[in-house]
Structures are given as C-alpha cells and as structure tokens.
C-alpha cells in the first residue's frame, strides 16, 4: 500500500527529478499544487508547456530565447568587440545581473570533462571559433574555477592564440563584504594572485 494516493506519489516522483529538489521538498510542492485552484494549476501547466515549446537557443550566442536572436545579441548598444564565454545561460544571467559588462556572450552549454565523456566537440566551441573575426578584440573566459573549467579555458586560449585577440579570465578570490578568516587556502591564494593596484 502506498503512503500517499497514487496521483500524489506520481507528482512527488516527477518533482523530485528536478535539480535540488529532494523528496521532502517535492512533497511540500505537491501539496501546494494540489491546494491551488483549477485556474492556477492550469496556468502553471500552460507555463511549463509554453516554455518547453517556445524556448530555444539563440542562433548567435546560444543563450535561451523565444526569438531567432536573443535580446542581448539584438541590442545595438552592446560592445561587439568583446565576447564573454560562459558555461550555461544561468552564468550569463548572473553576470548580467552584476551590471558590469556590456559586451556579447557565448554560451558553451557545458565544459570539457573527459571523466564525464564530454569532449570539445560536444559543447559549443566550434561555434565560438566561427565567431572569431577581425571585429573581436577580447575573449573573456568566465568558466567555473574547477579542473574542467580550467581545461575549457585552456582549450579556448589555444583556439585564439594565432589571432590578434586578447584572452582574459575573470578573477577569482574573496567576495565583497566577507571575512578572510572564513576562506579556504585556495580562495585566499587566488585572491592574492589576482590582486589589483589601488
């Protein structure tokens, strides 16, 4: 005998497949959904279906969009001489929310990870190489600080090495408003290495 009615169990099973959602959270969400009125449930269902049907990758940068080209690539006020390379659309949105960058982007949709069977041909590196022309003056690599992120950054730097393009990597180190005593040695080492003149 099931602990919950079968429709609730099915809903909990589906919700718990989402990243970061364990069984307890899935159960809480399931109860919340069940307590919504019929119109709210239909709105939620329609929003899921619409997002799945209409959202696709931008033809230029591979960000998520519902148009041929995303709003960032379509914006004539963006600095078209710079491309910031990120692993995922979530990373792009994080940088955009910071407000300090006005160039273009390139979303790889992954990183090189031989341990997980992901090679250079399985992410959007060829498309990045195709974008490298005389108009591009700088490639900013904003991959995560990990073995895979470093391998991907190195691969990109090799793609660019014969071109007259500056390759930079975002700095890593101590976050604003934090106490040094709480950081690990790797973070502090990088903060010292990436120090800037004041």
Residue 63 lies in a domain: no
Q: Which domain holds residue 25?
A: 6-54
The answer to whether residues 26 and 108 belong to one domain is no
Each residue's pLDDT tens digit, 115-140: 888 998 999 999 999 999 879 999 99
CA neighbor of 146 nearest in space, from 176, 169, 117: 169
Residue 163 lies in a domain: yes
The answer to whether residues 111 and 40 belong to one domain is no
Look at the pTM and tell me if it is higher than 0.75.
Answer: yes
* CATH code for the domain of 102: 3.40.1360.10
Q: What averages of pLDDT result for each successive group of 10 residues across the chain (198 residues)?
A: 82 95 96 96 97 97 97 96 96 90 96 90 94 92 89 93 90 70 72 66
Q: How far apart are the first and last CA of the chain?
A: 68
Give me the pLDDT at residue 24, please.
95
The answer to whether residues 42 and 89 belong to one domain is no
The answer to whether residues 146 and 93 belong to one domain is yes
Residue 176 lies in a domain: no
DSSP characters for the chain? --SS-HHHHHHHHHHTTSTT--HHHHHHHHHHHHHS-HHHHHHHHHHHHHHHHH-EE-TTT--EESSSS-HHHH-TTSEEEEEEEESSHHHHHHHHHHT---EEEEE-SS--BGGGTB-GGGTTHHHHHHH-STT--EEEE---SSHHHHHHHHHHHHHHTTSS-EEEE---SPPTT--GGGS-HHHHHHHHHT----
Residue 178 lies in a domain: no
Residue 197 lies in a domain: no
Residue 162 lies in a domain: yes
The answer to whether residues 33 and 83 belong to one domain is no
Count of domains for the chain = 2
Residue 14 lies in a domain: yes
Residue 81 lies in a domain: yes
């Amino acid at each position: 005998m099931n602990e919950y009615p079968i429709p609730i169990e099915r809903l909990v099973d589906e919700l718990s497949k989402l990243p970061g959602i364990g069984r307890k959270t899935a159960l809480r969400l399931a109860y919340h959904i069940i307590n919504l009125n019929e119109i709210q449930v239909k709105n939620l269902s329609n929003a899921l279906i619409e997002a799945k049907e209409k959202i696709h990758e931008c033809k230029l940068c591979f960000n998520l969009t519902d148009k041929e080209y995303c709003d960032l690539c379509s914006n004539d006020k963006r600095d078209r001489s710079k491309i910031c390379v990120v692993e995922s659309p979530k990373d792009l949105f994080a940088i955009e929310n910071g407000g300090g960058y006005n160039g273009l982007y390139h979303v790889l949709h992954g990183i090189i990870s031989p341990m997980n069977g992901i090679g250079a041909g399985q992410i959007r590196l060829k498309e990045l190489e195709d974008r490298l022309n005389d108009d591009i003056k700088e490639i900013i690599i904003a991959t995560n600080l990990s073995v895979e992120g470093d391998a991907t950054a190195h691969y990109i730097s090799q793609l660019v090495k014969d071109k007259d393009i500056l390759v930079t990597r975002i700095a890593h180190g101590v976050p604003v408003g934090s106490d040094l005593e709480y950081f690990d040695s790797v973070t502090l080492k990088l903060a010292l290495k990436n120090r800037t003149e004041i």
